[in-house]
Chain A
Amino acid sequence: MTSLPRSQHIVASGLIAAVGVTIAYISYTQEPADAYVFPRLISSVFAVLAIWTFVKAVLGRTKVGNGISGEAMLRMAPGLVVTLVYVFWAAKALGFYTATTIAFFILVSLYDPAPHRQLKTWAKRIAITAGFMLVMYGLFAQLLNVFTPREILF
């Protein structure tokens, strides 16, 4: 294991341990105590296992999990950013169908291996996006009658 995954393991398991300890603390201090009987049981085991995992990571004895390479991180970053902006902002602000169309088209364009300079490639991407949106509209708006946020667009 190289030093990169080891430091990643320390950070990841440290975060999980922090969550585990916080949950245990909340479970043992919040009122009414009767509502936290089961969470106390769970969070105690959670905290112990999380601290165990953290100590193993610090000692460099973690056996499973490869972490994330810098290259993979760079490849995923644009897609992840588009996904997060789409889910946490655009879907509500722009309207479900508009946001989905934009996000779908950007993601397909970002990760499609076909060359960007060909007009045919762009026409294909637009056609795929339009086809997908047509299916989604037919399924959710027409068939299932799901009322999605429309906001400033659609």
Chain B
Amino acid sequence: MGGLDFLFYMGDVFTPINFGLLLLGTIGGLILGATPGLSPTMAVALLIPFTFQLEPQQGLILLGAAYTSTVAGGAVSAILLKIPGAPANIATTLDGHTMATKGEGAKALQLSFLASAVGGLFGVFLLIFLTPVLAQWALAFGPSHLFWLAILGVTVIGTLDSSSVVKGLLAGCIGLWLATIGFDDIMGAQRFIFHPSVSGGINVIPALIGLFAIPQVITMFTKGRSSDDAEIISVKRHPIRLAFVEVLRRKTALTIGTITGSIIGLIPGVGGQIAGLVAYDQSKKFSRESEKFGTGHSEGVIAAESANNAMVGPSLVPLLTLSIPGSPTAAVLLGGLLIHGIFPGPDLFMNYPQVAWTFIDSMLIGQILMCIFGLYIAGLAARVARVPHAVMAAVVLGLAVFGSYSVQNSMGDVYVMASLGVGMYFLERFGFSAAPLVLGLILGPIAEANFIQGSMIANATVGMGSYFFTGWLNWLLILIVLASVSYSVWMEVAQRRYTTKDDAVAKEEAMS
């Protein structure tokens, strides 16, 4: 596995079908990303049923392109409507929309797509060069390490992605429990089967569709018959050459955004929203024109957008090397891999080099396509973003039902999708987050299989305590689990010191 293997498979991206799917995913993703309420995770989850009849690499190309471009497409509605298409674009609204109101909408869009492409390319290169190294290292992992890694994935997302540590961990436990429903792999015993729909266990794809799409549909219902009065700001022409010059001139913001996004992308559970906001904040601190931030300053747009796309590539590193999805979207991509019978992990690049490298290469080319098409279809995307929420809710519901059914031609999957989705809506209203639950559901089987395998080895050799709690790698993983929980508890307590209960409620309202 050499460092330049990705070049060997680059040609596969340009076969007619692969390139057509890449174009489709990129353009579709840009439009979906511009639609408020359609998050990248939800868009990718709804697309999975369309990949069933495709070859694994073709399906992954479509999903990867959609992931990349939905993140960038969210900038369109952030700039033109002041509504972030995805949480990752929140920081973009701060300066992007102000630029648009000043008549610099086209410039803001050009800067955002160019910065996204630079950040995105850097992120994918990081994915290309880090993944093989980590994959080699991961070959040394035994069952106890993989068990702790799975627990790490759930706890890190549970603690960092949620407003409450306890509720985040509880959501992770609910996900881990849901994963145990069905037949036990070792004894063949049926567990927790309280309805025939779940007799074969909970299929991950309908569960993902339900958990991400249905809460959004119900949230749209709660808006009632109100109309979104966001006004689309008209875009005047702006020479692209000047936008190039501007991006190159703002090297500090671009560098800070790209590096911040890449580092944050590598940390499981810390999403694009954090990447954008941290990069924006750091660029402001290091800028010579910090007082201009918030008044329609190009550095704000460049930093935020380069960061949220730079995190896309690195967020897939833990997935492709350790089969631990570092983000909810990576978890959905894992679902996409599993339905094609591909299990990511250290040996992915040995068993399926063509699938893995073509997928990664397509993300590289996808960044360039996203930049080119983003500049041209921004106006169309902004119009799509204004589709009434009544229509959007009905469309998403229809897609969710058909998509879930098509997984195994089973009504049981539709019932599971709807039940989990409605349940998740109510859980979200009480402070629970979908991300740790999804991670629990996906990592549950990995955690259980390695726990059982590890127990068997332990019972035959050194005993459970010694097997799971000794060795530097076990201890490192346990320490990271404890550190993430402790850090989150400390942050929660520190915030409470300065925040009254009313402030917290107001903040929650604003976020929801």
Contact = CB atoms under 8 A, between A and B. Distances in A.
A67 B398 contact: no
B394 A42 contact: no
A87 B400 CA distance: 10
Given A110-B390, A132-B398, A37 B455 contact: yes
Interface string A55-83: 01000001111111000100110111001
Interface of B: 49-50, 52-53, 162-164, 166-167, 169-170, 173-174, 176-177, 180, 184, 186-187, 189, 191-192, 217-218, 220-227, 388-391, 393-395, 397-399, 401-402, 405-406, 409, 411, 414-415, 418, 422, 426-427, 429-432, 447-448, 451-452, 455, 496, 501, 504-505, 508-509, 512
A39 interface: yes
Contact of A8 (B192, B430, B451, B501): B430
Contact of A38 (B227, B430, B447): B447
A146 B152 CA distance: 38
A153 interface: no
Contacts of A140: 402, 406
Interface string A32-59: 1011111101110110011011001000
Contacts of A41: 451
A143 to B, nearest CB: 8
A111 B221 contact: yes
A36 B218 CA distance: 35
Interface residues of A, number: 68
B390 A147 contact: no
A128 B398 contact: no
What 7 A-B pairs are tightest by C-beta distance, nearest first? A65-B431, A111-B390, A79-B221, A64-B431, A35-B189, A75-B224, A46-B173
A49 B166 contact: yes
Highest count of chain B CB atoms <10 Å: which of A35, A132, A147: A35
Given A53-B166, A80-B218, A112-B225, A46 B414 contact: no
A23 B194 CA distance: 12
Highest count of chain A CB atoms <10 Å: which of B53, B170, B452: B170
A72 B388 CA distance: 18
Nearest to A67: B429
B405 A148 contact: yes
A108 interface: yes
A87 B180 contact: no
A84 B224 contact: no
Chain B interface, >50% SS class:
helix
A50 B53 CA distance: 42
Nearest to B170: A49
A100 B191 contact: no
Contacts of B411: 91-92, 149
Given A76-B222, A79-B221, A9 B173 contact: no
B52 A64 contact: no
A1 interface: yes
Chain A interface, >50% SS class:
helix
A111 B393 contact: yes
A12 B426 contact: yes
Contacts of A39: 177, 180, 191-192
A23 B166 contact: no
Contacts of A130: none
Contacts of A8: 430
Given A9-B430, A112-B388, A144-B50, A35 B508 contact: no
A46 B504 contact: no
A132 to B, nearest CB: 6
A75 B223 contact: yes
Given A38-B180, A63-B496, A91-B411, A45 B173 contact: yes
A104 B423 CA distance: 22
Contacts of B394: 103-104, 107-108, 132
Contacts of B451: 37-38, 41
Given A66-B505, A110-B390, A42 B176 contact: yes
Contact of B52 (A53, A112, A144, A147): A144
Highest count of chain A CB atoms <10 Å: which of B191, B415, B447: B191
A23 to B, nearest CB: 6
Given A53-B170, A64-B431, A26 B192 contact: yes
A126 interface: no
A111 B177 contact: no
Interface string A2-23: 0000001100110010001001
Nearest to A11: B430
A113 B226 contact: yes
A42 B180 contact: yes
Given A53-B166, A63-B501, A42 B173 contact: yes
Contact of B429 (A66, A80, A108): A66
Nearest to A146: B406
Given A62-B431, A144-B52, A113 B508 contact: no
